[in-house]
Amino acid sequence: MAEDNLEPQVSTPAGPATTASAWVDETQVHKLSIRALFERTRKGVMAAPAGTLFLAWVVRDTVSLEVILVWMLVNSVPDLFTYFISTHALRKPPPDERLGVWLNWQVFFRALQGLAWGSACVFFHVQGENAFTNDLKVLMVLVAISATTTVNMAPSLRTLTAFNVGVLGVPLIFYAWLGDQQHLDFSLGMVILLGLQSTFGRDAARQFQQGLRELVRNHAISAELERLANTDALTGLANRRCFDETLATEWARARRNAQALAILMVDVDWFKRYNDHYGHPAGDACLAHIGRLLLGTLRRSGDLAARYGGEEFVVIIPGCNTAQAQELAGQLRHRVEAAALPHALALNGTVTISVGVAAMVPTDDHAHELLRQADQALYQAKRNGRNQVQAAV
């Protein structure tokens, strides 16, 4: 379609400009469409009795009460099933692989709703001098019902089409069957209205889908920008900003729960010498490699590794005491040493790290003391000869 060539160009954070559709998860769009359909369906069904009562009021003088009550009963059955399905789907969302099945049920019962509404032209058809006026009133109500559902069912063109075929198709066939000129004119009008509703329905569905895609696209771009704002570009670890926010959050949580919070302060030994000897590109590659080793050492999703600045890294470990933090720090130190990255100016010829460990149960509002202890422990590790783990006393 021609519209496909009108996608705006966006410069993605990952590289050059690409079409905006690259940011859209079509599966997410589909799921949101179905959920919106269920939400609108439930609201529409809840409002349906008003339309039913209005039509009953319109024909009250020409149609017997018994016939009106029978039609209202017929019309209420698919409404109840549709309401039940929509409510159940919203309270207990079906798994992704079952969404299509639930949508098919929605289409089926919406088609029954349309047939029930369209059957009003049969139930309320009368003979005599009031026949034309009565049929015209019924037809006007059915056209209004069809028109109001265009927005309500925009999330699914199939559902909208199934409903409108019933609402307008039954009068089309019934009035054509009657055969007189006035009713044949009505049938011709139904053909025209079905064509218009098909066009309006496609436009409404397309606009709704475009709006959803824009929503998903904006959410994806926002999430990516947020991720980049919290990520160190060199190592892929969290940056200082993310670390500060996470530390404040975890400190407050640990204080509420009276649990320990541990910090590892990590420094690459003799890194200035490494940069001077091998050059800054090699130094960057070394830091990135250590960042990957650091990530690979963490055990839980709640642990956070961040680049603190320069060749320093820091790790937040919630619910961890000093002994457990020391064990994790020892594993990290061993992994870096085992990687055996060449360092000609280091004492043992390879890149190593020093780690300061501190843990405590928070008692005040700020984590300054925890950071100070971890930093002091790191300083002691470096004074003691580097390539070791030192816990705060």
Per-residue pLDDT of the chain (393 residues; tens, 9 = 90+): 333 333 333 333 333 334 444 567 778 888 888 888 888 888 888 888 888 999 999 999 899 999 999 999 999 999 888 888 888 888 888 888 888 888 898 899 999 999 999 999 999 998 887 888 899 999 999 999 988 888 888 888 898 999 999 999 999 999 999 988 988 998 998 899 889 888 888 898 888 888 888 888 888 888 778 778 889 989 999 999 999 999 999 999 999 999 999 999 999 999 999 999 999 999 999 999 999 999 999 988 889 999 998 999 999 999 999 999 999 999 999 999 999 999 999 988 999 999 999 999 998 878 899 999 999 999 999 999 999 999 997
For the chain, the domains span 2-226, 240-391
Instruction: Give the pair of three-digit tokens for residue 316.
Output: 């937040």
Instruction: Please confirm, yes or no, whether 311 is among the known catalytic residues.
Output: yes
CA 218/CA 235 separation, integer angstroms:
27
pTM for the model stands at 0.61
Active-site hit among 226, 311, 327, 369:
311
Residue 126 pLDDT: 87
**Mind spelling out the 3-state secondary structure of 325-385?**
HHHHHHHHHHHHHHHCCECCCCCCCECCEEEEEEEECCCCCCCHHHHHHHHHHHHHHHHCC
Residue 352 pLDDT: 95
CA 51/CA 385 separation, integer angstroms:
84
Q: Span 240-391: which CATH code?
A: 3.30.70.270
